[in-house]
Each structure stands twice: as C-alpha cells, then as structure tokens.
Amino acid sequence: MSLKIFETHSHYYDDSFLHDRDEVIERQFNYGVKKILNCAVDIDSCKKTIDIIDKYDFIYGACGIHPSYSKYYYKITYEDDLYKFNKHKKVLAIGEIGLDYYYDNIDKEIQKEVFRNQLKIAKDLDKPVIIHCRDAYADTLRIIKEFMPIRGVVHCFSGSLEIAIELIKLGFYLGISGISTFKNAVKIIEVIKEIPIEYLLTETDCPYLSPVPLRGKRNESINIEYIIKKIADVRNEDFYKIGDTLYKNALKFFSL
C-alpha cells in the first residue's frame, strides 16, 4: 500500500528554497506528497504564493497576515489585496493569521484588530482559516467565537487537551507538526491519543520544525512521514491506515 500525503502548512516561497525550489517541490510529489498548501504571512509572500500555485497543479495557497507582521499593516489598507488574493480559485483558506504573545514587541490590540479583520474576510468569502496561536489560546478562542460559524485549523497545535477539546467543539481541526516527535512533546502526545482522528491534520511548517531525527535540517513536506508514524504509534494503529485517514481529513477540510 502506498502512502499519500497532504501537506497542510508549508512556506515554499521562503529564501531557504531560493536555489533549489523547483527541485525540492518536484521531489515532494515524486515521493508521495500529492497535495501541498503553501501559506503566506504578509502581502509579499501572498504574491509569491500565487506565483507558486499558478506553476504547480498540486500546490494550493492560503493568503493572510501573520500576527508577527500585523504591526506593519494596521495603519494601511491591506484588505483589498487580501480579498483579491483569496478570490483566486486555488487559494483555499485565509492564513496564516492569528495571535502570538510569545514576544512582547507587537501590541496585542493591534494583533487582535488585524486578526478580526481577516476573520471577517474569511466569513465574507466563506473560506476556512489557518490560525497561528502562540501563548494566546484564551484570546484566540474568544475571538473565534465572535465569528462563529467559521471553519478553521489551529496550525502547529501545542496547547493542552482541554484547549483541543474546546476547539473541536467549535468544529476546528488541529495541525500536528514535527513538534510531536520532540522529547518534551507531552501535551501533544496526549492530544494525539485522546482527540478523534477525524480532527487531525498533518503539516511540516517547512522549512521550519523538522521532526526527529532531522532536527536542525531544512524541513520538507516528505518528512510528514515521521509525523504520521508518531501518530500511528501513539494511537497503536496501522501506519498506512492512519496515513489514509489523515489524507482524507485534509481533502474534506479543504473541500477538495
């Protein structure tokens, strides 16, 4: 049985792929990565994402403003650009958007404003959202509830089981990344074990967060195989069965 992979969060416009991007992307498909979502973080990467998805049939896009870039956009008009990008037939979601309180150099109120603006765009266009949440789960949940019903995934999920349960009650999915293979991934392992498999998606966040045993190296979508193996091991289920379920989860989430 062959393994089909749906990479639900990547950044192939990143400069780390500057010199071998085409080679790397072609390698993904040949290995078994049959669909990839490339996620933008600002207007410039939205433009680059459009270029990539226009070039490769099996790559789709998400366009949005990451919270770390929100301070550059709250005083200028960016909504028209986001509406334009997200009306592209291969842009499947609004993202990567959300809140990040890990660093204290970005005003929380600015982040919330930009986050809410993009959730409104998602509602207007009836598209799911790709949410970045770091040390901000309480506010993220509170703001999501303001816009319900809305579909989405919290990418690179690192919260507790209690938060995971709150999210799936809202119909949200959880993105499981290479963090699940780290030695200190206690909370993620509990989530993988307890949350219904139907609410899990797999992602790399490449070129970042390479899984064990590849930590420190540039990440690629083919490394999702390590994440699927971790999920299968934790749940004590067949590797290929889990892989097939995760692939179908992504097809359903993105309505493909």
Residue pLDDT, tens place only, 187-200: 999 999 999 999 99
Which pTM was predicted?
0.96
pLDDT band at 1 (very low <50, low <70, confident <90, very high): low
Separation in Å, CA 207 to CA 12, 34, 64, 83, 133: 7, 18, 18, 27, 19
pLDDT in tens, 22-63: 999 999 999 999 999 999 999 999 999 999 999 999 999 999
pLDDT in tens, 83-101: 999 999 999 999 999 999 9
pLDDT in tens, 217-246: 999 999 999 999 999 999 999 999 999 999
Mean pLDDT in residue range 110-139: 97
Mean pLDDT in residue range 55-72: 96
Task: Please give the sequence-ordered ranges of beta strands (E in DSSP) within 149-252, or none if there are none.
Answer: 152-154, 173-176, 200-202
**Residue 256 in contact with residue 39, Cβ under 8 Å?**
no
Question: What's the whole-number average pLDDT of the chain?
Answer: 96
**Total length of the chain:** 256
- Which amino acid appears at position 131 of this protein? I
Mean pLDDT in residue range 108-120: 96
Mean pLDDT in residue range 117-137: 97
Dihedral sign for Cα 253, 45, 97, 207, please.
positive
> Residue 202, Cα to own-chain centre: how many angstroms?
9
